[in-house]
Structure 1
Amino acid sequence: MIKRIKPGKRFCEAVVVNGVVTTAGVTGDGDDAVAQTRDILATIDGLLAEAGTSKAKLISANIWLRDIAHFAQMNEVWDQWVDPNNLPVRATVEARLAAPELLVEIQVTALV
């Protein structure tokens, strides 16, 4: 069975299948990488909760930064948020994002 969370016009914000939830790339509001990362991780917390899981069950995270110079700012927020006893695998790359105001995008996968 597939559970689709918050379906939209082009994609769902998350999909649960076979005990695994995968989010779409999540972007956030804010004027800098710190504010956007906080907003993104709050959204991810909500999506994981709706799927019946939490950040303690993260498997992987993919992070895209408009400018790799934002790496330390994003990590400052990430390190406060992530469960240090249940770290996922993670990749972070610099990429052109969908809109110029977007500085950070994060996609995660977790066990349900």
Structure 2
Amino acid sequence: MSEIKRVDTGTRMSQAVIHNGTIYLAGQVGTPGESVATQTKDILKKIDALLEQNGSDKTRILQATIWLADMKDFAEMNEVWDAWVAPGHAPARACGESALATPDYTVEIIVIAAAG
């Protein structure tokens, strides 16, 4: 059997799980109550750090799932996202609307990446 590595594991979840050269990140959220743009920037910094910590980077993201509390914020989130994505390395992506953990969260992003 191949090894499963769990990173920053708590009672409920791990921030990352690595298996067979693939890194699965938990849903990342930003600072509650901040703007959609600020929360998105916070999330992308967390994603960068988790990927770097595990030997990867944003150019190796395979898939991203983005949840918005309200689709009216789609353009604001995309402005930050588009500036962050490495040219030529856009992952497969889905974006939908969902109630998040609390009303203070407006964005949650989940990514799957190839290890470096």
User: What's the TM-score, normalizing by structure 2?
Assistant: 0.94
- Separation in 2 of the partners of 1:104 and 1:84? 23
Alignment counterpart, residue 52 of structure 2, candidates 49, 57, 63:
49
Shift of 1:53: 0.2
| Structure 1 partner of 2:77 | 74
Q: Structure 1-normalised TM-score?
A: 0.97
Aligned to 1:110: 113
Query: Quick one: distance in 1 between partners of 2:22 and 2:54?
Result: 9
Three-state SS of the structure 2 residue aligned to 1:44 is helix
Which consecutive segments of 4 or more residues in structure 1 shift more than 4 A?
none
- Alignment RMSD (CA, Å): 0.8
Residues matched between the structures, number: 112
Match of 1:16 in 2: 18
User: What amino acid does structure 1 have at the position aligned with 2:73?
Assistant: H
Q: Which moved more, 1:99-108 or 1:22-31?
A: 22-31
CA shift for structure 1 position 39 = 0.1
Q: Which amino acid aligns with 1:76?
A: E
Larger deviation: 57-66 or 28-37? 28-37
Tell me which residue corresponds to 1:58: 61
Residue ranges of structure 1 left out of the alignment (5+ in a row): none
Map 1:26-41; keep pairs closer than 5 Å.
Answer: 26-29=28-31, 31-41=34-44
Q: Percent identity?
A: 46
SS where residue 88 of structure 2 aligns?
coil
